[in-house]
Structure 1
Amino acid sequence: MHNHPIASVIDDDESVRTAMSSLVRSLDWDVRLYASAEAFLASDVDQVACIISDVQMPGMSGLDMYRHLLDKGVTQPIIFISAFASDAVRRQALDLGALCVLTKPVDGAEVSRCLAGLEPDDSQGE
Structure 2
Amino acid sequence: MRSIGLIAKAFSSGEDFLRSPELSRTGCLVVDFDMPKMNGLDLYKTLSGLGKEMPTVLITAYPSDDVRTRALQAGIICYLPKPFAESDLLNCIQTALARAKGSGDVP
Instruction: Output the TM-score relative to the length of structure 1.
Output: 0.71
1:25 is matched with 2
Give secondary structure in 2 for the equivalent of 1:32.
Answer: coil
Secondary structure of 2:66 counterpart: helix
SS at match of 1:33: coil
C-alpha contact (below 8 Å) 1:81/1:106 kept by paired residues: no
Q: 2:17 aligns with which of 40, 43, 48?
A: 40
Question: Which residue does 2:90 correspond to in 1?
Answer: 112
> Identity over aligned residues, as a percent?
35
Letter in 1 for 2:92: C
- Structure having greater relative contact order (Cα 8 Å, sep ≥ 6): 2
More strand by share: 1
Take 1:110 and 1:85, find their aligned partners in 2: how far apart are those partners? 16
- The aligned residue for residue 105 of structure 2 is none
8 A contact 1:52–1:81 mirrored in 2: yes
- Over the aligned positions, Cα root-mean-square deviation in angstroms equals 1.2
Are positions 1:103 and 2:81 aligned together?
Answer: yes
Which residue does 1:64 correspond to in 2? 42
Give, as a single letter, the amino acid of the residue that structure 1 aligns with 2:5: D
Higher relative helix content: 2
Native 8 Å contact 2:44 2:53 kept in 1: no
8 Å CA contact retained: 2:28, 2:55:
yes
Deviation at 1:81, TM superposition (A): 0.4
User: 1:55 maps to what in 2?
Assistant: 33
Query: Given residue 78 of structure 1, which amino acid in structure 2 is its aligned partner?
Result: T
TM-score normalized by the length of structure 2: 0.83
Question: What's the CA shift for 1:114?
Answer: 1.1
Q: List gaps (5 residues or longer) in structure 1.
A: 1-23, 120-126
For structure 2, which runs of at least 5 residues remain unmatched after alignment?
99-107
